[in-house]
Each structure stands twice: as C-alpha cells, then as structure tokens.
Copies of this chain bind each other. A is one copy, B any other.
C-alpha cells in the first residue's frame, strides 16, 4: 500500500464500502473532516434523523402517554437488548438496556459479589477505564473487599485464593489492547473467581461470544462502536446460570427500581424482582436516547462481524504501517499491540510530552482523533464508515503537522476542558 491511489482502489473493491451510506456524513465530508474517534462517539446514522423527529413529534407530541404501549416504549430495553445480544454472543432475552455503563457496572459487581465467594479481592487493570475503577473501588470498600490494581502481565498471578471477582475491559481504552476473553475467563474460573467484562470498546467493533467464553457478567456502552448517540444508554448481560439462580433465590439487585419489578404496573409497595436480566432495569429509560441507540445498533446488526473484523484489522494495519514508514524519527511509539489478534479497532501512539499539542494540531487539520493523558494519541477505526483513503489522508496530514512543526504553535499547548 504505497500510494493514495492504491487506497482508493482498495475502497472501490471493498464489499463493506456501501455501509458508509448508512451514516449522515455529508457535512463531515464537506468540511474535509476525517473522523477517527468513533471509539469515543460513533457517527450519526441517517435513520436516526427521521426516527428521532418522529419519536419527538409523533410519539411524544401526539401519542403522549399512550406511546408507552402504542409506540412500544415499554419494550425498548428488551428489543434493543436482543439486537445487541446478537453482536456479543448472547441469546434473546439475556441483555437489558438501561442506565449508564458506570451504573450497570455497579449492578454487575453487586451480582458477582452475591453469586461469588466471600474472598476479599476484586482485581482489575491499573489502566482500565477510570470510571470502572472508581465504581469498583467504592463498591469494594462498601463490601469489605479491596480493589487490587495490576499490570496486564500480573493478572494471572493475582488469581489466587483471595480473588473473588476479575473485572476487565475487553479492549483497553488507551492502548487498544484486546484481552483473550476465553482464556482469562477460564483462568479466573479455575481460581474460583467470577469475571465481569466491560465491552465498551468491543460491542460492534470486534467479534465477542460471551457464551463461548463462558463469561459471568458483561456490560457495555451504546455510544461508541454501536453509534447510539452521545450518552446513549448502556447494556448489561448475565450468564443464564446466574440469572437462573437469581430467579431461584429471588435475588434483589441493589438498584431495585420499578421497571425491574415482576409486575411494575401492579404498584405493589413490596419489591418482587422480575425474572432474568429484566431485574437490572431500574427506572424509566430516556426514550429519545433509547430510540437513537436502536438506530445505531441497527447499523451494525445487519453486518457480518467477521467481515467487519477483517476490514478493521486491514485499516489498523495500514495505519500502523504508514505512520511507522512516514514518521520515523518524530518520536511516536506504537502502544497498540502489533499482533492483530491482540488489538481492538483502534491504534494508539505515545508521544511523550508533546502528545496533547500534536493531537490538537492534527484536529486543526481536520483529523479528529483524541488524546488520553499523559501521552497517548488515539485513533479509532470504525470499519462501517472509515475508508482506506481516510487512513492515507490522515497519515498525510499527521505528516504535514510533524514536518511543518506547526504543532509547536502556542494555541495547541493550552489544555481544553475536554480533550
């Protein structure tokens, strides 16, 4: 892949190329923006424009309270849950959509703590996404446990007779490194621990098979590779062996809200958990955001995950090869694993000291990636809408930023509130 023309040719013969038309990228394209941040916020599905307008004007505006039935609002959680489930190896009825990733992680840890042993350790990676660590740390403190933070290569050695729960994000948000879900789950089980997987950077990005991995609980995010819109609701899954036990023992989740009640409209003063995963639905869901999420999930649902994965690997390999070829000596160090089976759908380079300023300069040239403190430049590659020529052009612009030295411009060194 040594020229822009070759990239264009590759796009021309890419069988997934038409999928890009699912998205409202006209203005983004017209502005010359190359969006490599779908791992943070996925782009807008065209279908969401009309769908949201209809939810607002027809369902809310005209149908009003009747739309809980007539427009199926009451079934959104399960309906979208089933669609997400199909992407992550869960069966119909096993996934609920509700609340945020953080809140769902709290529910999942509560379930794992209830179902698991009395051992004192919750183990996670020091570089896991902070909200996971914050939720787990507070949860552990309140339940007489300790959160043990380790480096990636120390995980297995921590799986000893003090390990109650292993909580990992499948694909690391900073490095893009992907864990071997099946092998780590087995190692945890062998040690007598349960595993909670965060699929924030996996769902819709890489093939996941929760049943094949024999995972215990999983949660994930709706607004990254699922294209569900800013702050889209999140999802939660539990293995049916766990939900069956919850049913048998009538287990109450800690956030026992009315939509997780067996008969929410009986308005009984006493809580009776709904069966299965439904008990994890707590309060009334934000319907507008749920509808957008459904449009986002639908953009992925019709596609073969293995075909998506193949293109994802091709995109990330191309990016790595081009950066390393064209930017030798500019101080970039590849952080993402070089082996594709250990990589999610993003590529991160470290640039010590200057990462922030460089990313700002790159964004000013219309390549939207993002920066993660202290030194990581992240680039997400969503195979549904990222083209090979986008990769070429992004590296070209990065190269211009570095060779011109424009990133040293004062305005790029000021830290924004959100980076």
**Complex Cα gap A231–B288 (Å):** 8
Q: Mark A84-102, 1 if CB is under 8 A from B, else 0.
A: 0000000000000001111
Chain B residues with Cβ below 8 Å from A52 are 52-53, 56, 288
Given A99-B103, A103-B257; A267-B372 close (CB under 8 Å): yes
- Which residues of A, 373-419, contact B by the 8 Å Cβ criterion? 373, 416-419
Q: Mark A285-307, 1 if CB is under 8 A from B, else 0.
A: 11111101000000000000000
A122 an interface residue at 8 Å Cβ cutoff? no
A198 an interface residue at 8 Å Cβ cutoff? no
Distance (whole angstroms) from the CB of A140 to the closest CB of chain B:
11
Chain B residues with Cβ below 8 Å from A103 are 99, 103, 255, 257, 282-283
Q: Is the CB of A131 within 8 A of B258?
A: yes
Q: Mark A195-213, 1 if CB is under 8 A from B, else 0.
A: 0000000000000000000
User: Chain A interface: which size bin?
Assistant: 35 or more
Q: Is the CB of B286 within 8 A of A252?
A: no
Q: Is the CB of B270 within 8 A of A229?
A: no
Q: Is the CB of B57 within 8 A of A41?
A: no
Distance (whole angstroms) from the CB of A7 to the closest CB of chain B:
23
Q: Is the CB of A231 within 8 A of B285?
A: yes
Q: Is the CB of A258 within 8 A of B134?
A: yes
A256 an interface residue at 8 Å Cβ cutoff? yes
Q: Is the CB of B289 within 8 A of A62?
A: no
User: Which residue, A128, A137, A233, A286, has most C-beta atoms of chain B within 10 A?
Assistant: A286
| Residue of B40, B56, B289 touching A65 (CB-CB under 8 A) | B40
| Residue of B69, B131, B368, B416 touching A418 (CB-CB under 8 A) | B69
A334 an interface residue at 8 Å Cβ cutoff? no
10 nearest A-B residue pairs (beta carbon): A100-B283, A286-B289, A102-B257, A102-B283, A131-B258, A230-B287, A44-B61, A134-B271, A286-B286, A138-B256
Q: Hey, which bits of chain A sit against chain B, CB under 8 A?
A: 24, 27-28, 31, 33, 35, 37, 40-41, 43-44, 48-49, 52-53, 56-57, 59-62, 64-69, 73-74, 99-103, 106, 126-131, 133-135, 137-139, 141-142, 149, 174, 223, 229-234, 252-258, 261, 264-271, 282-290, 292, 363, 368, 370, 372-373, 416-419
20 contacting pairs across A/B (C-beta < 8 A)? A33-B64, A41-B60, A49-B56, A52-B52, A52-B53, A56-B229, A65-B370, A68-B418, A101-B283, A106-B255, A130-B261, A130-B267, A134-B271, A135-B256, A138-B253, A139-B254, A223-B284, A229-B286, A229-B288, A288-B292
